[in-house]
């Protein structure tokens, strides 16, 4: 694991430790004290004091990259150069151009790359999407409040903003259900270069539509998915973060990636899917700022 990120503490460390085909080997952090505290429940895992040393470790087969968005490309490319597979936190990159470069590097290295959209592995979420018949409209929202003014999610150079942080989920699920949009319109409330709240309308073939909303200044729990389809209206609350109920999508994601690595099978979320999602995010950002 590259970095002692909060998502590691909350979900991914436990998912790796509980997986049936993986083992937590080490965490590299520029704050060894924080890393040691996070790894306390996992006594077999080692703290490594630099990212470079972790990538050089022969015991490491797979790297999980939860670094800030602006570092996803750099350290994913370095991992491929070191001969490691990479499970990269969402969004895969800062933009589609970066994502394409990462995909090309994965192909050249012969290693697997997958974006960590854990919600796609939840059995209930998969069942929800699979039972839809002739959907015509999707409404997806994901918001919460970032309370620390120094949070990297509020820093433009680090790839901050609601769209990349949580809007990527709303776009992903809209495309999962409706396909690729042909038209994009968006508006945002931008503060110091960062989109604090963003709203988008995506138009698909046959005049099907999706309304997406993402915010870093919303009440906790502002997360919903509604689909208008043949046969009625289908709703799912907390579609992007419900876990351990009893399924843990993080563990299912880790195990799925492990199968791809161990058996050299295609990953469950192809990189071309992640690139397509980034292209729509780019279009939304451009529309909101124009």
The predicted structure's pLDDT at residue 241: 87
Burial class (CB in 10 A: 0-12, 13-18, 19+), 133: exposed
pLDDT of residue 145 exceeding 90, the answer is yes
- Region 95-99 average pLDDT: 98
Measured distance CA(169)–CA(12) in Å, rounded: 18
- Strand segments, DSSP code E, in the chain are 26-28, 46-48, 62-65, 85-88, 113-115, 135-145, 183-191, 194-203, 209-215, 217-229, 232-237
Delimit the domains of the chain by residue range.
6-117, 123-242
Handedness of CA 113, 88, 138, 203 (dihedral sign): negative
Q: Identify which of 4, 1, 5 has the alpha carbon closest to the alpha carbon of residue 22.
A: 1
Mean pLDDT for all residues in the chain: 96
Q: What is the pLDDT of residues 210-242, one digit of tens each?
A: 999 999 999 877 899 999 999 899 999 899 987
- Region 94-109 average pLDDT: 98
The predicted structure's pLDDT at residue 227: 98
- Region 182-208 average pLDDT: 97
Handedness of CA 233, 241, 94, 107 (dihedral sign): negative
Cis link prior to 268 (omega < 30° from 0)? no
The predicted structure's pLDDT at residue 223: 94
**Whats the size of the chain, residue-wise?**
290
The predicted structure's pLDDT at residue 1: 97
The predicted structure's pLDDT at residue 150: 93
Nearest 5 degrees, angle CA 260-CA 261-CA 264? 70
135 contacts 228 by C-beta, under 8 angstroms? yes
Whether 90 is a known active-site residue: answer yes
Among the listed residues 73, 84, 90, 111, the single catalytic one is 90
The predicted structure's pLDDT at residue 18: 97
pLDDT of residue 268 exceeding 80, the answer is yes
Tokens matching residue 87: 């499970």
The predicted structure's pLDDT at residue 14: 96
The predicted structure's pLDDT at residue 224: 96
For domain 123-242, the CATH architecture is 2-Layer Sandwich (3.30)
Measured distance CA(5)–CA(277) in Å, rounded: 24
Alpha carbons within 13 A on the beta-carbon side of 273: 21
pLDDT of residue 187 exceeding 80, the answer is yes
CATH code: domain 6-117 is 3.40.50.720
- Region 193-221 average pLDDT: 95
Q: What is the pLDDT of residues 15-58, one digit of tens each?
A: 999 999 999 999 999 899 999 999 999 999 999 989 999 999 99
The residues that bridge with 13 in the sheet, in sequence order, are none
Confirm whether pTM is higher than 0.95: yes
Measured CA to CA in angstroms, residue 259 lies from 1, 249, 264 at distances of 18, 15, 8
> How would you classify the pairing of strands 194-203 and 183-191?
antiparallel
């Amino acid at each position: 694991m590259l970095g002692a990120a909060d998502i590691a503490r909350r979900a991914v460390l436990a998912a790796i430790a509980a997986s049936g085909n993986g083992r937590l080997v080490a965490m590299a952090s520029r704050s060894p004290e924080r890393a040691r505290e996070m790894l306390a429940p996992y006594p077999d895992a080692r703290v490594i004091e630099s990212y470079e040393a972790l990538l050089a470790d022969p015991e490491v087969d797979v790297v999980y990259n939860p670094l800030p968005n602006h570092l996803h490309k750099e350290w994913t490319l370095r991992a491929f150069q070191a001969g490691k597979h990479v499970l990269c936190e969402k969004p895969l990159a800062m933009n589609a151009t970066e994502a394409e470069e990462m995909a090309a590097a994965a192909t050249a290295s012969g290693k697997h790359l997958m974006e960590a959209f854990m919600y796609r592995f939840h059995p209930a979420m998969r069942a929800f999407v699979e039972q839809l018949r002739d959907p015509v409209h999707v409404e997806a929202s994901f918001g919460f409040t970032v309370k620390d003014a120094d949070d990297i999610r509020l820093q433009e150079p680090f790839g901050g903003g609601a769209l990349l942080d949580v809007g990527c989920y709303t776009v992903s699920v809209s495309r999962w259900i409706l396909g690729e949009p042909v038209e994009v319109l968006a508006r945002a409330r931008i503060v110091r270069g960062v989109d604090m709240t963003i709203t988008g309308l995506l138009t698909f073939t046959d005049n099907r539509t999706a309304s997406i909303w993402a915010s870093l200044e919303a009440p906790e729990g502002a997360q919903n998915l509604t689909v208008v389809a043949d046969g009625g209206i289908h709703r799912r609350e907390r579609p992007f973060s419900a876990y351990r109920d009893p399924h843990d999508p993080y563990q299912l994601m880790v195990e799925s990636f492990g199968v791809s690595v161990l058996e050299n099978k295609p990953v469950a979320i192809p990189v071309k899917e992640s690139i397509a999602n980034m292209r729509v995010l780019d279009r939304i950002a451009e529309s909101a700022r124009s």
